[in-house]
Amino acid sequence: MIHLHLIRVLLLTGISLLPCAAQEESVILQFLSFPKAIDPKPVELLIGDKKTLTVEIPSNELSVTYKVNRQTVWAVGESATGEDGKPTFKVFGQAPSLATPKQLILLVRKGENYSDGMDVIPIKNDIKDFGGGQFLFMNAAKIDIAGEAGGEKFVIKPGTHTIVSPKPGENGRTFHAMFYFRKDNEAKPFFSSKWPVADSARALIFFYHDPETIQLRLHSIRDFL
């Protein structure tokens, strides 16, 4: 127990008795946007009261890392001037933050313009959660997707994702991937191929409808660790 005299000394000198947990905690963020674009414009991330950080949101690779103070909600948008002439922040999309210290923020654009809105999807980005040899499948289409990757079977509904660890074939370097979509309560195959797998890389696969042909397609990204 702390002696009363010591408490008086601490109070007079301004030394806090509060635990260190009261200090702000930092997290490491990376960003990835979809649908794919040649050179997506950056967005602003809200990192405090009236404080933002401009972040890159590439679509063919993960962004550089950003170290920021943990927020309850990750909100992306742009700074603007309100009708009253005062600065404001226009939110394109937001989602609750995760507890993990490293997070990958997927931004799925809802239209041609950022102002049309974005789905914000935080994903655990620690190597132990999403590391080498693993594949993240994201369903950005409007129908259910089922698949089998190296013996791992999964089903993902629109707007959701899953992470699997495919088992390579006899050569130890590739696995067979097969995907289906649901139509009239039947599973229709639409893709079959052999994909490389290695402990030195992870992959992100997006299923989506081509905006011009409406055909179901996939977009893949390899991230070397």
Question: Under DSSP, is residue 106 helix (H, G, I), strand (E, B) or coil?
Answer: strand
Our measurement of the distance from residue 56's CA atom to the centroid of its chain's CA atoms, rounded to an integer in Å, reads 13
Provide the pLDDT for residue 10: 38
Q: Whole-model pTM? A: 0.81
* In 40-173, beta strands by DSSP E: 43-48, 51-55, 66-69, 73-81, 87-96, 102-109, 118-124, 135-139, 145-149, 152-156, 161-164
Q: What share of the chain is helix, strand, coil (3-state, %, to 5)?
A: 5, 50, 40
The sign of the dihedral angle between the CA atoms of 53, 51, 34, 125 is positive
Token look-up 């950056």 returns: 42
* pLDDT tens for the chain, residues 1 to 225: 444 444 444 344 444 444 433 346 999 999 999 988 888 999 999 998 889 999 999 999 999 999 999 999 999 999 988 888 888 899 999 999 999 999 999 999 988 899 999 999 999 999 889 999 999 999 999 899 999 999 999 999 998 999 999 999 888 899 999 999 988 888 899 999 999 999 999 999 999 988 778 889 999 999 998
Domain 24-126 has CATH 2.40.160: no
Longest CA span, the chain: 78
Provide the pLDDT for residue 27: 96
* Among 42, 59, 35, residue whose Cα is nearest residue 111: 35
Provide the pLDDT for residue 209: 87
Beta bridge partners of 107: 33, 120
Provide the pLDDT for residue 6: 42
Provide the pLDDT for residue 16: 42
